[in-house]
Amino acid sequence: MKILVPIKRVVDYNVKIRVKSDQTGVDLANVKMSMNPFDEIAVEEAIRLKEAGKATEVIAVSIGVQQTTETIRTALAMGADRGILVKTDETVEPLNVAKILKAIAEEEKPDLIILGKQAIDDDCNQTGQMLAAILGWAQGTFASKVELEGGKLKLTREIDGGLQTLMLSMPAVVTTDLRLNEPRYASLPNIMKAKKKPIDEKSPSDYGVDVKARLEVLKVTEPPQRQAGIKVESVEQLVSKLKEAGVIG
């Protein structure tokens, strides 16, 4: 079984986001970038399937600027076998990402594609669903457990108020939820080994995809500043303030 794992380079989740003063987007100058956390979970799941003898090859693919190679190297250090960088300086919208991934899937013929459920920069939560649709493959989103059973994929999904279990025929597209696993840190020897693993460099036009944006961002703004609270002198004052605010009767 061959597994394709699409990974996105995003602003690190610990970074305090700064909006550009002209409101055209987020300031990326001198900002730490990392692999999208849900994609780390996807890489981990693919590697675990390989370690369990159920997968033969794990390919990490990313669409982005040249520095995205570093993100692919992280996936290789975690245990992926090889990488594909589809290099572009454009911001690529989910539908175009899905079109490029479809072309790669047709070339590589994976049995399974595991994506993150959403990228923490655009919060789109679209790419996996679009990819499954245009490939015509089965899809299982927000997976919290993935098991192979008789050539099929048994998938547990987190839904409102409970869990849903699905049986998917392969090839399939799966997207990861937070509780699927805890991604490993790459060890130093594996970081060294990853330097020798191959990364193919391609461009969107190699896959016949025009990445021109269809959406126009009108503006990006900071969330409103929180109002400062007040200090109360006593429990009685607290109770009367809560009554005034209608929080208690």
Q: Which residues bind ligand AMP (CB under 6 A)?
A: 6-8, 36, 38-39, 62-64, 92, 94, 97, 115-116, 118-119, 122, 124-128
**Cα 128 from Cα 133, distance rounded (Å):** 9
* Contacts (Cβ under 8 Å, ≥6 apart) of 18: 26, 27, 31
Nearer to ligand AMP, 39 or 44 (CB): 39
Residue with tokens 């809560």: 242
Residue whose CB is less far from ligand AMP, 1 or 7: 7
Contact 34, 12 (CB under 8 A): yes
Which residues sit opposite 167 in a β-bridge? 154
Q: Closest residue (Cβ) to ligand AMP?
A: 116
Q: What Rg do the C-alpha atoms of the chain give, in angstroms?
A: 22
Q: How far is the CB of 91 from ligand AMP (least distance, A)?
A: 9
Q: Which of 191, 1, 199, 195 is nearest to 78 (CA)?
A: 191
Kindly state the smallest distance separating residue 35's Cβ from ligand AMP, in Å: 9
Of 97 and 143, the one with the shorter C-beta distance to ligand AMP is 97
The answer to whether 173 touches 113, Cβ cutoff 8 Å, is: yes
Q: How far is the CB of 154 from ligand AMP (least distance, A)?
A: 21
Q: How far is the CB of 235 from ligand AMP (least distance, A)?
A: 46
Rank residues 167 and 217 by Cβ distance to ligand AMP and give the closer one.
Answer: 217
Smallest distance, ligand AMP to C-beta of residue 238, A: 42
